[in-house]
Amino acid sequence: MKKIKIALITSSLLSAGLSFPSYAEDEHGILTHAIESITSHDVNKTTTYYRDLDQDGVSDEHDHCLNTMFGVPVDQNGCELDDDKDGVVNRIDQCPNSAPGAFVNRVGCELDSDGDGVPNSKDKCPRTPKGVSVDAHGCEFIDTDQDLVNDKFDECLDTPLDGSVNRHGCEPHEYVLTNIIFQSFAHDIQESQRPILRKDAALLSNLKEGEVVLITGHTDYTASDDVNLRLSWRRADSTKQFIIDELGHIEQKVYINGYGEDQPTASNANEEGKQENRRIELRVITRDELPSDAMLTLPPEMIPR
């Protein structure tokens, strides 16, 4: 019976001299009027007989989804809404706030391959065994020092009970000094020094609203003033890149500067003093406290030639 009705409707349209609509695009390839490309004669007939077939409030001339369910909210093109842009319309989307670009299933929820309750896009441990208790990162939660920071991410596993800790599980400090060893006239962080720098930098307190990190480089007086100045800036920049990559600091909240050999804290007459002067200082300060020479990136004159 349905096939007969469809045949009759099709026959009626053809006898009325109508051709089926094709979608038109503007110069940017964006669909505009749904029947813009139909001859003016056919357009007049179509808009007279079929003004809004699916009764969604969008005329058929502009409707790109001509068969939406009755009463369902639609956009300006007559198509069902999909607020999180995951390809699943709001009407059947059981997870309406999926992360942009995340893979979702047919009901609009992100995939969780290991079934631990943490979606794949946020899961840092994607193969957790079934039934294991996990943290917000999807990793098995083990907390040796009971500071509520998972041992997997805890840089200080021996903090005292009831002590205040930062996001790395360490007692927070506003000022941190590290004397990691660089090779002569080099600014790259050596592999042997990475654990030391990570441990030291993890002591920085969590940033509050309006706070930033300032990294300052210093050298001893072995080379010329000009060489030492450039070296101090480059070492500060290497430290910045390290804490961004290793500890998750936000690039726009980490500033650098360098003072070469101008601010020694010990005598340069012996090796012990020189090593003490070859230092990196990390401070948590407010933006208002930033020195005028602090920069987010290396100044052109400090870039290696």
DSSP letter string, 256-288: EEE-TTSS-SS-TTSHHHHHHHS-EEEEEEEGG
Q: How many CB atoms lie within 10 A of CB 240?
A: 23
**pLDDT for residue 196 is more than 50:** yes
Give the pLDDT band of residue 38 (cuts 50, 70, 90).
low
* Pair 249, 201 in one domain: yes
Question: Can you tell me the distance from the alpha carbon of 214 to that of 105, in angstroms, rounded to the nearest whole number?
Answer: 44
Q: What is the mean pLDDT of residues 34-59?
A: 64
Same domain, 206 and 288: yes
Query: Of all residues in the chain, what percent carry a pLDDT higher than 90?
Result: 46
Tell me how far apart the alpha carbons of residues 68 and 50 are, in angstroms, rounded to a whole number: 15
Amino acid 135: pLDDT: 87
Indicate the burial class of 200 (C-beta count within 10 angstroms; 0-12, 13-18, 19 or more): buried
- Residue 226 placed within a domain: yes
Answer yes or no: do 51 and 108 share one domain: no
Nearest to 141 by CA among 156, 154, 155: 154
d(CA 41, CA 208): 66
Q: Judge whether 163 lies within some domain.
A: no
Assigned domain for 89 exists: yes
Q: Residue 263 is part of a domain; what is its CATH number? A: 3.30.1330.60
Q: Which residue has the higher pLDDT, 141 or 27?
A: 141
Residue where one domain finishes, among candidates 58, 81, 104? 81
Of 151, 121, 147, 159, residue with least CA distance to 134: 151
Domain boundary among 61, 81, 101: 81
Q: Which pair of structure tokens corresponds to residue 161?
A: 């009970």
| Residue 196 sits in the same domain as residue 211 | yes
Q: Span 154-169, mean pLDDT?
A: 90
Mean pLDDT throughout 142-171? 89
Statement to judge: residues 19 and 123 lie in one domain: no
Terminal CA-to-CA distance of the chain, rounded, Å? 82
pLDDT, residue 184, reads 86
Residue 292 confidence (pLDDT)? 95
Kindly list the distances between the CA atom of residue 1 and the CA atoms of 8, 53, 54, in Å, as whole numbers in the listed order: 11, 21, 22
- At residue 257 the predicted structure's pLDDT band, cuts being 50, 70 and 90, is very high
Residue 266 falls inside a structural domain? yes
Question: Are residues 292 and 180 part of one domain?
Answer: yes
168 lies in some domain:
no
Q: How many domains would you assign to the chain?
A: 3
> Mean pLDDT, to the nearest integer, of 77-95?
83
pLDDT band, very low/low/confident/very high, at 227 (cuts 50, 70, 90): very high
Same domain, 246 and 298: yes
Same domain? For 243 and 258 the reply is yes
Predicted local confidence at residue 2, as pLDDT: 45
| Beta strands in the chain, from DSSP E residues, in sequence order | 175-178, 211-217, 254-258, 280-286
- pLDDT above 80 for 156: yes
Helices in the chain by DSSP H: which ranges? Answer: 2-15, 40-49, 194-201, 225-247, 271-277
CA pair distance 222, 92, nearest whole angstrom = 69
| pLDDT score, position 191 | 96
Asked whether residue 153 is assigned to any structural domain, the reply reads no
Please check the confidence at residue 120 and state whether its pLDDT lies above 60.
Answer: yes
Nearest to 232 by CA among 262, 269, 255, 254: 262
Percent of the chain with pLDDT over 70: 83
pLDDT given at position 303: 86
pLDDT of residue 296: 97
| Domain identity same for 102 and 63 | no
Specify if 152 maps to a domain: no
- Could you give the CA distance from residue 263 to residue 273 in angstroms, rounded to a whole number? 13
What per-residue confidence (pLDDT) applies to 13?
A: 45
Domain presence at residue 271: yes
| 151: pLDDT strictly greater than 70 | yes
Enclosing domain of residue 266: 175-302
* C-beta contacts of 238-245 below 8 A and 24+ residues apart: 238/187, 238/188, 238/189, 239/178, 239/189, 239/197, 239/201, 239/215, 239/280, 239/282, 240/215, 242/189, 242/194, 242/197, 242/198, 242/201, 243/201, 243/213, 243/215, 243/282
Residues 50-75: what's their mean pLDDT?
A: 79
Last residue of a domain, one of 48, 66, 81: 81
Segment 143-160 shows an average pLDDT of 89
Question: Is the Cβ–Cβ distance between 228 and 288 less than 8 Å?
Answer: no
